[in-house]
Amino acid sequence: MGLALEQARAASAAGEVPVGAVVVRAGELVATGRNASLARCDPSAHAEVEALRAAGQRLGNYRLEGCTLYVTLEPCPMCAGALLHARVARVVYGARDPRTGAAGSVIDLFADTRLNHHTRVEGGVLAGPCAALLEEFFRARRRARRPQYPLRPDALRTPEARFAGLPGPAWPARYLSDLPPLEGLRLHYVDTGAPTPQAPTWLLVHGPHSWSHGLRHLAAALAAAGQRVVVPDLPGFGRSDKPKREQAHTPAWHRQVLDALVERLDLRCVVLVAQQAAWAHALAALAPGRIYAVLSVDAGTTPCDAPYPDAGHRAGPRALARWPQAAEADGAAGVPAIGARSLGVDPSACLDTPEAAGRLARAAVPYFFPRPPDDTERAPGA
Ligand SMILES: [Zn+2]
């Protein structure tokens, strides 16, 4: 039965329902077989039939008298029929099959003396491992078939094809839908990862006329400078799901989402870069103790429009464009906030090209993360 289990595992590895069989005669292995129905497009390619065919070829006889067939699952009626035709002396099976078992579970073809005078049956041998293999296979298949991020009925999702062929670095798209404030909406973000355990973290938050892609030059420049960069698409933007109702978008809710993201990724000592001063001010209250400073940049001279299939997908940008006043009123920045201009960088164009973003990164990294005091060269702002 151990050898039959090996065959079953091989079937599973090939994507077939894991059932394996072996034919043994006088203590000698005659043939093996495993379920191969999918690969062969053959409904009869069950493990038992495969093993019987191979045994018949090997022994040069379609009668397999004196042989024992070991199979990990109770034979179905088809296989029971084939086993009876072959006059196999003994069938030993592992797990019972309550749905199609023909050795007693549904019917018992072996017990019907009108059909059978030859074959003895024994069940339940290594039943545990045989059944576990099947259960794990079907569990994995159910998992694979379940959509990973089902779309909420009150939201839209921009088809992936709309993002094909975008210029710029292709960081893998990461998704979350289990942050409590998302209530099942899919949130997209980029995380360049920490090149060193102590690498400072930058959280880049786009404005109402942009999305994560609009921050790609700055993200690339910061990552090249050894920083960890996290760039989410706010709900309603880019690759994140888009609630259809404008009223769904409130500053408080977006702040909760970002807050939960910062917590989930366990970002600490974060410099938050926001693409709009008022928005930056509002977000500074985010994730108490985790945001260390805020840097605001302008939206860029060229708005970075996400591919929106229609006006229905634009509820988020419409809502955010109306926010600045409200956001300023309820922002409670307890952390230092500066603008790009304070770093000697033109804030209006600093996101538009790799060169401009590089200048901003070269000014901002040493400003916020000065080198340790034992360094001879002190950074500005240290
Ligand atoms: Zn069968």
- Give the count of beta carbons closer than 10 Å to the beta carbon of residue 48: 29
pLDDT of residue 327: 45
pLDDT of residue 381: 46
**307 C-alpha to ligand 1 centroid (Å):** 52
User: Phi, psi (5° rounding) for residue 120?
Assistant: -90, 150
pLDDT of residue 252: 85
pLDDT of residue 379: 46
Determine whether the annotation assigns residue 46 to a binding site. yes
Give the active site residue among 16, 28, 48, 50.
48
**102 C-alpha to ligand 1 centroid (Å):** 9
Q: Which residues of 185-194 are buried (b: 16+ CB within 10 A; e: fewer)?
A: bbbbbbbbee
**291 C-alpha to ligand 1 centroid (Å):** 62
Determine whether the annotation assigns residue 117 to a binding site. no
Q: Is 218 left (phi over 0), alpha (psi -120 to 50) or beta?
A: alpha
pLDDT of residue 339: 84
pLDDT of residue 301: 56
Locate the domains of the chain by residue range.
Answer: 1-145, 168-368
Q: β-strand 174-176 against 187-191: which pairing, if any?
A: antiparallel
pLDDT of residue 165: 84
**75 C-alpha to ligand 1 centroid (Å):** 5
- Which residues of the chain carry a pLDDT beneath 70? 277-285, 287, 299-302, 324-334, 372-382
Say if 1-145 and 168-368 have the same CATH topology: no
pLDDT in tens, 158-200: 998 888 888 877 788 999 999 999 999 999 999 999 888 888 9
pLDDT of residue 1: 95
Tell me whether residue 338 is exposed, middle or buried, using C-beta atoms within 10 angstroms of its C-beta: 0 to 12, 13 to 18, 19 or more. Answer: middle
**66 C-alpha to ligand 1 centroid (Å):** 21
**270 C-alpha to ligand 1 centroid (Å):** 60
Determine whether the annotation assigns residue 79 to a binding site. yes
pLDDT of residue 341: 87
**144 C-alpha to ligand 1 centroid (Å):** 25
Identify whether 183 is a catalytic site residue: no
Percentage, residues of the chain above pLDDT 90: 60
**140 C-alpha to ligand 1 centroid (Å):** 22
**252 C-alpha to ligand 1 centroid (Å):** 60
Q: What is the CATH number of domain 168-368?
A: 3.40.50.1820
CATH architecture of the domain with residue range 1-145: 3-Layer(aba) Sandwich (3.40)
